[in-house]
Chains A and B, each alone.
Chain A
Amino acid sequence: MIEDVTHNRADLQFGQGFAEQLGDVRLSACFMCRACTSVCPITRLNDSFNPFRFVRLALFGYIEEVLESGLIWFCTNCYACQEKCPHGVRIPDLMTALKNLAIKTGYAPREVLLQMNIVKDQGRIYPIDEFDNKKRGKLNLPSLPVSCEAVSTLFNENSE
């Protein structure tokens, strides 16, 4: 469990490198006040989720443990923590970076991958079909395209 990571695995150099890569996330500006945790709506419901701890774990280089725990996916990207952080640490951006990394390293939940593939293929999370357009027509709403070519140029021919 993520609460019990032992300190002998700490890799400060890796953590520092990660913080530098993230640049304007300002990880190393964190001065441990825990204001972020005190306003996080998820921490209130599940105390193993703790934004302050993600910042510290990232700084100490425990990236793999964080990804393995799967907890990052509980972040709703609500920005409550960022709004309250007195030192301008952008925790939601840290969470996004960790989530992106989880996708690359195979730690992502199926639902997230599915959603990504639908958007990349169809250009929408809820693709529109003829039936939708019929319903829209009945409500006097304009019909929408049932396919999208732009995404195939943008994402499927990336080799150019």
Chain B
Amino acid sequence: MTYAFFLGCTIPARSRGYEMSSRKVAEKLDFELRDMKEFICCGYPMKASDKVSSELMGAYNLSLAERNGLDVCTLCSSCASYLTEVAYHLAEEGPKRDEVNKQLSRLGLEYKGGVKVRHFVRVLYEEVEPKEIKKHFKRDLEDLKIAIHYGCHYLKPSGIYENFDSADYPKSIEKLVSMTGARVINYAGEQNCCGGPLLPIDEKTALSLAKEKLDAVFDVGADALCVVCPFCSVMYDSNQKTMLSGSGTNFGLPVLYLTQLLGLAMGFGKKELGLNMNVVKTKELLKKYFI
């Protein structure tokens, strides 16, 4: 299986642990994530300011993948959602695609509407047999209690995602976490947004939204929160300390990418999975497994 690997902006600069662990997991599963240096921002960060230009950026990326005969695989949920949306709107021939292609032609490119976009986690869920994943497991994570944060754009808007999972009662990530032996525990407000997009606008509101979730997760006694998007991780991991300062609590809840959990089960080391770069320390958690 080969996909054009869409890293986006945030991951290669700020969430290298996610990138490293995803590459490791893909390698194990004999799954090629092909690097494409020409890829640029997916366009989503500009949607609010200039939708026409942002769609053009999305289409530019899609046309590059198409030229290479590949579908696109992303790690960031916002890249996944936005590129899926652009691909959805440009799938049919029409004035919209003509206009985009007029612009792309200045770079010698054209988008013919044939690219599929997939989040890496969706690929693991839909395209890899559980036994194919499990056969690589070397550690049983049965001592871990994991709370899952699906986040918004991994599942929504559901209309463009062909119902690969339910937006109200999702189960794809839970299935993958459960394979490792870890126990998935539920908490109040699982569906809530991390608040990430609000961070530059109103930090206080953004952090209260994120804190609500951390409180709920802590209350049910989870050992870690599992995420699949770098923005969610920035909120829960990078900003956890700021959020809790002055609130009298300091729970130090580790936030792990799903690929870091799978990588742990596959027997990879802390550094190979970039776990040493997580902001909330994972030391106590890993001690259970003598790592």
A contact residues vs B (CB 8 Å cutoff): 41-42, 45-46, 73-74, 76-80, 82-83, 92, 96-97, 99-100, 103, 108-109, 111-113, 115-116, 119-120, 123-126, 128, 132, 135-136, 139-142, 144-145, 148, 150-151, 153-155, 157, 160
Smallest Cβ-Cβ distance to B156: which chain A residue: A79
Can you list 27 pairs linking A and B with CB atoms under 8 Å apart?
A: A41-B192, A41-B209, A45-B209, A74-B198, A76-B195, A76-B197, A77-B197, A78-B193, A79-B153, A80-B193, A83-B157, A92-B157, A96-B51, A99-B49, A111-B200, A119-B41, A123-B57, A125-B9, A128-B12, A132-B12, A135-B16, A136-B12, A139-B20, A144-B12, A150-B40, A151-B40, A154-B53
Query: Could you tell me if A125 and B50 are in contact, using CB atoms closer than 8 angstroms?
Result: no
Smallest Cβ-Cβ distance to A39: which chain B residue: B191
Query: Could you tell me if A120 and B53 are in contact, using CB atoms closer than 8 angstroms?
Result: yes
Chain A contacts of B1 at CB under 8 A? none
B contact residues vs A (CB 8 Å cutoff): 7, 9-10, 12-14, 16, 19-20, 23, 35, 37-38, 40-41, 45-51, 53, 56-57, 60, 103, 106-107, 152-153, 156-158, 167-168, 191-193, 195-198, 200-202, 205, 208-209, 274
> In whole Å, how far is A4's beta carbon from the nearest beta carbon of chain B?
22
Query: Could you tell me if B45 and A80 are in contact, using CB atoms closer than 8 angstroms?
Result: no
Q: A96-B47, A124-B9, A126-B13 are in contact. Are A139 and B274 (CB under 8 A)?
A: yes
Which among B38, B41, B200 has the greatest number of chain A C-beta atoms within 10 A? B41
